[in-house]
Structure 1
Amino acid sequence: MTGLQNSQCPLCGGREAGLFSRDKHHCYQLCPHCDLVYVPTAERPDPLAEKSSYDRHDKNTADGDYGKVLSRLTGPLLARLAPGSVGLDFGSGPGPLLAGQMREAGMRVRTFDVFYDPDASVWYQSYDFITCSDVLEHLHSPGRELDRLFSVLKPGGWLGIMTQRYDHDTGPAHASAHVTQVCFFSDASLHWLARRQQAELMLLEDDVALLQKSGN
C-alpha cells in the first residue's frame, strides 16, 4: 500500500489529509477541510480495470428491486419538478434505468457515462435537474466533476444524489464491496459542497440527498 504518498484531496484540493483506515484493498485518507474519505491516487484502479469491473456489475438492468431503490431518489425529485423538465442522468451506465423512470414521468432526460455513453454534447446545454446515482463514490476527481455539473445546472435547479454516506464511527462500510469505490462522502462533506456551490442541501435518507442551486 502507498499510504500517504499522495494526500491531495480530490474534492477540495486540501493537502493535510491523515490516515483514516485500511482494508485488504486500500488505505483511506480523511480530509480535515471537507471531511471526504478517499483512496490515494496510486491505489485507484486504472480505466481498463474500472471498465472491466463495471461490465461485471451492471447496476442498470431492468431489475424491479433496483427500480424500487432508485425511486427513493426519483420520487422526491419528481415532487419538486415542473412537468416536462429537462434533465441529465450523469453516470447513467449501459442501460439507464433511472433516466427511464424520469421519462415515464414526463421528463426529458439526456444521459452521460464516461464508459458507456460519452456524448460530450451534453455539456453544451443547461438542465432543470441532474441525477447522480451510485456514481460519486467512483469519481477520481469529484471536485472537478461536481463543479462541471453545477455549471450546467440552471439557477433553482436540482442535483439529486444517491450515495451511501459514511460516519466517523463506522467508516465507509461499503468500501471493500467494490474496488472502484474511491471517494466517500459524509453529511459534513455534502454540507461543504452546498456551501461551495451556494446550494440548499436536503439530506433525505442515509444515501439520498438533494441540492438546489441558488436562484440568483
Structure 2
Amino acid sequence: MACPLCYSLDTHHYFEDKMRSYRNCSVCQLIFVPEQYHVTNQVEKEIYDLHQNSPEDEGYRGFLNKLLIPLSQKLTPQAHGLDFGCGSGPTIKPMLEAQGFKVDNYDIYYYKQEKLLLKKYDFITTTEAIEHFNQPRKELELLDSLLRSGGYLGIMTKRPTNLEAFSRWHYKNDQTHICFFSEKTFYWIANLFNYDIEFPGSDTVILQKL
C-alpha cells in the first residue's frame, strides 16, 4: 500500500484497534489510515458541525496562541496570510488582524473560496487540519504553491512518538484523523520543499520557504 505523502510502497502494518488499522511509512515515517476506513465527506462535515470553536472562546484563543505567538514574531508588519482549514468559527483572522496583519479564511466545507487558491501569501496557518488531509502530498504541494519565497507555514497538530504511546493515544480515536506526522515526518517534508524548520512546542511546527 502506497504512502499518501511520499508515495513509497515501503509501508507496513503499525497498529490496529476496534475501528481501523494504521500503517507506517518506512521512508517519511508518516502514520496513516488506509482509505477503506475513511469516512465520507458528509459524515466528516457532520462531525465538524459539532465543533464549538469560536473567536469568543478564550480557551480556544489560548490554544491557538501556542502557534500564533511564535509565528507572529517572525512576520513583517501588514503581512498577508491564509488560514487554511479555518473551520466554521474562524478565530485566527480576528486574532492576527488585531495585530495589524491581514488574513483570508479558507475551508473546504465552510469558506470554499477557490479564488483564494490563486493568490500568494506571506504566511499560511493550518491548525488542527493537516491530520484530516486524505491526500497530504497534494495538499502540501498546494500550500507550497500559495506561499511566497521567505514565507512561513505554521502548523498545529499533535505528533506521535512511539507505538506504546500511540496505542493509548486519544488523538487517533477521532475517525476524521487519518494522517499523523511525527517530528521525523516534518523533517522529511522540510527537506522535500526546501524549508527551514523549527518546533516551538510539542504540537506546533513553523516552516520557512527558502
Residue 49 of structure 1 is matched in structure 2 by: 43
Q: CA RMSD in A?
A: 1.2
Q: Is the 8 A contact 1:25 1:176 kept in 2?
A: no
Matched, 1:192 2:188: yes
Residue 31 of structure 1 is matched in structure 2 by: 25
Return 9-18 or 172-181, whichever deviates more: 172-181
Residue 181 of structure 1 is matched in structure 2 by: 177
Matched, 1:79 2:79: no
1:169-214: CA deviation from partner (whole Å, max 9, x where unpaired): 4127233441100000000000000000000010111101000000
Equivalent position amino acid for 1:104 in 2: A
1:140-181: CA deviation from partner (whole Å, max 9, x where unpaired): 011110111011100000000000000124127233441100
Residue 61 of structure 2 is matched in structure 1 by: 67
CA distance in 2: counterparts of 1:186 and 1:129, whole angstroms: 22
CA distance in 1: counterparts of 2:112 and 2:11, whole angstroms: 32
Matched, 1:164 2:161: no
Residue 204 of structure 2 is matched in structure 1 by: 208
Return 161-170 or 31-40, whichever deviates more: 161-170
1:42-64: CA deviation from partner (whole Å, max 9, x where unpaired): 11111001001100124345311
How many angstroms does 1:89 deviate by?
Answer: 0.2
SS at match of 2:166: coil
TM-score normalised to the size of structure 2? 0.95
Return 50-59 or 167-176, whichever deviates more: 167-176
SS at match of 1:84: coil
Residue 40 of structure 1 is matched in structure 2 by: 34
Identity of aligned residues (%): 34
Q: Is the 8 A contact 1:58 1:93 kept in 2?
A: no
Q: Is the 8 A contact 1:73 1:162 kept in 2?
A: yes
Unpaired segments ≥5 residues, structure 2: none
TM-score normalised to the size of structure 1? 0.93
CA distance in 2: counterparts of 1:123 and 1:136, whole angstroms: 17
Unpaired segments ≥5 residues, structure 1: 1-6
> Using a 3 Å threshold, how does the CA distance of structure 1 residues 15 and 60 change in structure 2: closer, same or farther?
farther
SS at match of 1:157: strand
CA distance in 2: counterparts of 1:194 and 1:176, whole angstroms: 24
Matched, 1:21 2:45: no
Q: Is the 8 A contact 2:55 2:94 kept in 1?
A: no
Q: Is the 8 A contact 1:86 1:129 kept in 2?
A: yes
1:67-118: CA deviation from partner (whole Å, max 9, x where unpaired): 1010010000110001100000000011101122111111111011001011
> Using a 3 Å threshold, how does the CA distance of structure 1 residues 183 and 60 change in structure 2: closer, same or farther?
farther
